[in-house]
């Protein structure tokens, strides 16, 4: 394995000097890569994808991630390492990022793609392997270099992932330093210096990191917190909805920001929907069970790391739930419709606990999910299970949210899917509602600068009457 060389500095504690050394090597690697044509760039992107898609490595990195972070499960992480990477590679092989990427003869415009520079990629503990590869693929597609800042818990996994990417780059004759990683032990000061000295920061993880990225003085893309609410309306195929919710909620033990955190069911079909969810593997908590879950899931107002993202039997055992709960796949916690700090089940839970609400009708359900997002999860996404497409349209028209997923397993659809039109990513913008600079799934366009060649065209100047006529007629001059 091609490990990143040890850094030599005059002071081992000088974080600024350490990062400066990484930046220098990144720029040198970019200088070797700057004249690569599209075919060569695509070879590099494919090499990065293979670094984690190769079955033995996908499994190894999944296993180490679970051991080191204690979050999620191996089988799901293997799927994530491969499926997200494969989908991202599909998307990237279909687009151009070198030279002329668009021509509009009528407007006299020609657009050229250029690199943004050295990218600082902040990686979360929930995805210490898949996210670094995803961001590296986007960065290299734009002929940039990338330096990854791991989470402390996921540092070993992320460093090993970067070593695999470096080795694959060298295998095809490209400089390994197009991909680098902060050296251990990772700390806030090192990560902050990386944010300060890079050309672009792309931050996935804690909202504290996102705020620091935006205040670093470097152009930054951050994403908001997840807390996905999903509606089941009166027209839904309940068995299908329950199965999709189960698959999505249970995937990687609900570590994804796109995992359902609550479902709001209209009153008319409430009990039938609960039965369908139970048939899909849900355990319906009693009021006593609910109190045990609450007392265990939160410790001093913070999520308990001994419970979050754990297997269902571990969750049930740790919470002290009855024997019947230990064979469940996930846990239905019914709550009243209050939302806020005094209602912890309305917050993101990063666990197999799924809050269940009852709404009088669709209008009430729509208002309720907006209330949830206004508390936690602003702008992120909502889901709906329905046969009434007008309901889905109404959510998209009325809610302050970036994505509305219809009849889908949210975790598998929100970050791109082979059966919807969203591009594959592990970083999802939430718009200004969440203080984010993008309202899309992070993609290659976020990693290129564009030069516009502008030529003259026949004059396109309307008359005053064409522009002001309607105004003058209605309001006078």
CA distance 7 to 322: 53
Q: How many domains does the chain have?
A: 2
CA distance 314 to 296: 12
Instruction: Confirm whether 351 is domain-assigned.
Output: yes
Looking at the structure, tell me whether residues 324 and 337 fall in a common domain. yes
pLDDT recorded at residue 5: 67
3-state class of 145 per DSSP?
A: strand
For residue 180, the enclosing domain spans 15-223+442-452
pLDDT recorded at residue 9: 47
Looking at the structure, tell me whether residues 56 and 94 fall in a common domain. yes
The angle that helices 155-171 and 130-141 make with each other, rounded to 10 degrees, is: 40
Answering whether pTM is above 0.85, one says: yes
CA distance 246 to 282: 8
Q: What DSSP string describes 255-274? A: -STTSEEEEEEEGGGHHHHH
Instruction: Confirm whether 467 is domain-assigned.
Output: no
CA distance 74 to 251: 10
pLDDT recorded at residue 7: 57
Looking at the structure, tell me whether residues 156 and 92 fall in a common domain. yes
User: Is the alpha carbon torsion for 210, 211, 212, 216 positive or negative?
Assistant: positive
Looking at the structure, tell me whether residues 116 and 31 fall in a common domain. yes
Query: pLDDT tens digits for the chain (477 residues)?
Result: 567 766 554 454 589 999 999 999 999 999 999 999 999 999 999 999 999 999 999 999 999 999 999 999 999 999 999 999 999 999 999 999 999 999 999 999 999 999 999 999 999 999 999 999 999 999 999 999 999 999 999 999 999 999 999 999 999 999 999 999 999 999 999 999 999 999 999 998 788 888 999 999 999 999 989 999 999 999 999 999 999 999 999 999 999 999 999 999 999 999 999 999 999 999 999 999 999 999 999 998 899 999 999 999 999 999 999 999 999 999 999 999 999 999 999 999 999 999 999 999 999 999 999 999 999 999 999 999 999 999 999 999 999 999 999 999 999 999 999 999 999 999 999 999 999 999 999 999 999 999 999 999 999 999 999 999 999 999 999
Looking at the structure, tell me whether residues 119 and 197 fall in a common domain. yes
Of 203, 257, 285, 319, the active-site residue reads 257
Instruction: Confirm whether 314 is domain-assigned.
Output: yes
Looking at the structure, tell me whether residues 190 and 254 fall in a common domain. no
Burial of 237 from C-beta contacts in 10 A (0-12 / 13-18 / 19+): middle
Instruction: Confirm whether 424 is domain-assigned.
Output: no
Looking at the structure, tell me whether residues 245 and 302 fall in a common domain. yes
Looking at the structure, tell me whether residues 54 and 110 fall in a common domain. yes
CA distance 307 to 295: 11
Instruction: Confirm whether 289 is domain-assigned.
Output: yes
CA distance 229 to 379: 12
Looking at the structure, tell me whether residues 211 and 244 fall in a common domain. no
User: For position 396, which CATH number holds?
Assistant: 3.40.309.10
Distance of CA 380 to the CA centre of its chain: 10
| Catalytic (active site) residue 257 | yes
Three-state DSSP string of 157-219 = HHHHHHHHHHHHHHHCCCCHHHEEECCCCCCHHHHHHHHHHCCEEEECCCHHHHHHHHCCCCC
Q: CB 218: neighbour CB atoms within 10 A? A: 18
Looking at the structure, tell me whether residues 218 and 315 fall in a common domain. no
């Amino acid at each position: 394995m091609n490990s990143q060389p040890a850094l030599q500095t005059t002071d081992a504690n000088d974080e600024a000097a350490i990062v400066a050394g990484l930046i220098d090597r990144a720029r040198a690697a970019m200088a070797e890569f700057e004249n690569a044509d599209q075919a060569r760039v695509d070879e590099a992107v494919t090499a990065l994808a293979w670094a984690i898609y190769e079955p033995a490595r996908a499994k190894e990195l999944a296993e180490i991630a679970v051991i080191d972070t204690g979050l999620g499960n191996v089988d799901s992480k293997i799927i994530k390492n491969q499926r997200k990477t494969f989908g991202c590679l599909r998307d990237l092989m279909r687009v151009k990022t070198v030279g002329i990427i668009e021509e509009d003869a009528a407007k006299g415009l020609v657009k050229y793609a250029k690199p943004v520079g050295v990218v600082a990629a902040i990686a979360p503990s929930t995805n210490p392997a898949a996210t670094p590869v995803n961001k590296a693929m986007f960065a290299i597609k734009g002929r940039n270099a990338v330096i990854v800042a791991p989470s402390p818990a996921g540092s070993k996994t992320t460093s090993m992932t970067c070593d695999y990417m470096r080795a694959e780059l060298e295998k095809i004759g490209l400089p390994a330093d197009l991909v680098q990683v902060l050296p251990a032990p990772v700390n806030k000061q090192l990560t902050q210096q990386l944010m300060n000295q890079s050309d672009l920061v792309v931050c996935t993880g804690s909202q504290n990191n996102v705020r620091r990225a935006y205040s670093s003085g470097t152009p930054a893309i951050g994403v908001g917190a997840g807390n996905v609410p999903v509606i089941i309306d009166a027209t839904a195929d309940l068995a299908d909805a329950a199965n999709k919710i189960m698959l999505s909620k249970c995937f990687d033990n609900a570590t994804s920001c796109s995992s359902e955190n609550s479902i709001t069911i209209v009153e008319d079909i409430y009990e039938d929907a609960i039965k369908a969810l139970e048939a899909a593997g849900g355990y319906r908590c009693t009021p006593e069970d609910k109190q045990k879950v609450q007392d265990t899931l939160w410790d001093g107002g913070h999520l308990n790391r001994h419970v979050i993202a754990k297997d269902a039997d571990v969750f049930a055992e740790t919470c002290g739930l009855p024997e019947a709960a230990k064979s469940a796949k996930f846990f239905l916690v019914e709550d009243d419709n209050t939302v806020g700090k005094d209602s912890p089940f309305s917050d993101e839970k990063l666990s197999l606990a799924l809050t269940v609400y009852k709404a009088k009708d669709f209008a009430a359900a729509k208002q309720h999910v907006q209330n949830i997002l206004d508390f936690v999860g602003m702008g992120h996404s909502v889901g709906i299970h329905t046969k009434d497409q007008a309901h889905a349209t109404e959510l998209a028209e009325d809610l302050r949210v970036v994505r509305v997923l219809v009849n889908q397993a949210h975790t598998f659809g929100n970050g791109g899917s082979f059966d919807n039109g969203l591009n594959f990513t592990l970083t999802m913008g939430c718009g200004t509602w969440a203080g984010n600079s993008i309202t899309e799934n992070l993609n290659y366009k976020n990693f290129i600068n564009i030069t516009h060649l502008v030529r003259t065209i026949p004059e396109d100047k309307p008359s005053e009457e064409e522009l002001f006529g309607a105004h003058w007629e209605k309001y006078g001059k």
